[in-house]
Amino acid sequence: MSLLELKDVHAFYGGIEALKGISLTVNEGEIVTLIGSNGAGKSTTLKSICGQVKVTGAITFDGKNITDQAVHQTAAAGIAHVPEGRRIFPRLTVKENLEMGAFSVKDKDVVSQMMERVFAYFPRLKERLRQLGGTMSGGEQQMLAIGRSLMMQPRILLLDEPSMGLAPILVEQIFEIIRELNREGMTILLVEQNAYQALQIASRGYVIQSGEMIMEDEASVLLESRKVKEAYLA
């Protein structure tokens, strides 16, 4: 059954139509990737899902209509969005950043359990609990951003360009963790410019161009497609 479904979604920025009726589904347990060039509408798609952009059309999550729902309600419903540029709270400590991820979790024991789980993925964070988020390196910030989103025990993780600006070795690490999260059952919608790596870990993929979905297929098929190769894997 599909966990997340977008049907004929249009989004406008001022007078410009950023999404021209896109449709997309993510099934439980999948990694789905959305690839495309700069400005194609990848981030806008994620922002539409979490309610940061006003849209027309229908967005359903777990059978419920969440179109234009307030951002904090969508998050509380189980959609964790790791935004582009990581957006760590710079003057909160690592621990406080993680605690904010768990803002909607009432039970303190659950919060500390989740924190231990995050430390299992990212041991680095445990060593730096009292450090201010803004003073960490880019790779550490990305780890914190993903860890923070896991704190809310989401049902789906929306990742916006997690590899951006990271050294190749860190990109490897981040993708490895994404794969591991998925093996443990996390559903993931991954937006990437790094199309080759994204398609390698994804089960299915969508290609977006100028606000329209131009292709949709198994990731392995997209990897072999001449069109994708020429435009995004060159």
Partner 1 sequence: MISDLLHSLPQVLVDGLTLGAVYAVVAIGYTLVYGILELINFAHGEIFMSGAFIGTAVMLMFESAGWLGAMPGWLAYMLIMAAAMLVTGLMGVGIERVAYRPLRSAPKLISLISAIGVSFFLQDLVRFIAELSTGSYLISSSTLYNDNLQLRVSKLGGSLGDAFLKTNTVILIVVAVLLMVGLDLFVKRTKWGIAMRAVAQDRETAALMSINVNKVIALTFFIGSALGGATGVLFAQQYGTVDPFIGYVLGIKAFTAAVLGGIGSIRGAMFGGLFIGMVEMFASANLGVLTSGNFGGEYKDVFAFAILIVVLIFKPEGLFGKAVKEKV
Instruction: In angstroms, give the least distance from the CB of 159 to partner 1.
Output: 13
29 binds partner 1 (CB under 8 A): no
For partner 1, which stretch binds (CB under 8 A), given 31-39, 130-138, 177-185, 194-202? Answer: 130-138
Instruction: In angstroms, give the least distance from the CB of 151 to partner 1.
Output: 9
Question: Any idea what the Cα angle at residue 25 is, between residues 19 and 29, rounded to 5°?
Answer: 135
Decide if 141 contacts 88 (C-beta within 8 A).
Answer: yes
Considering the complex, state which of residue 88 and residue 228 has its C-beta at the smaller distance from partner 1: 88
87 binds partner 1 (CB under 8 A): yes
Q: How far is CA 200 from the centre of its chain?
A: 16
Count of residues of this chain found to bind partner 1 when the rule CB under 8 A is applied? 33
The maximal CA–CA distance of the chain, rounded, in angstroms, is 52
For partner 1, which stretch binds (CB under 8 A), given 66-74, 172-180, 191-199, 201-209? Answer: 66-74
Residues 90-129 that bind partner 1 (CB under 8 A): 90-92, 96, 99-101, 103-104
Q: Which of 118, 125, 136, 144 binds partner 1 (CB under 8 A)?
A: 136
Residues 37-56 that bind partner 1 (CB under 8 A): 50, 52
Which string of DSSP letters, residue by residue, matches 82-138?
E-TT----TTSBHHHHHHHHTTT---HHHHHHHHHHHHHH-HHHHHTTTSBGGGS-H
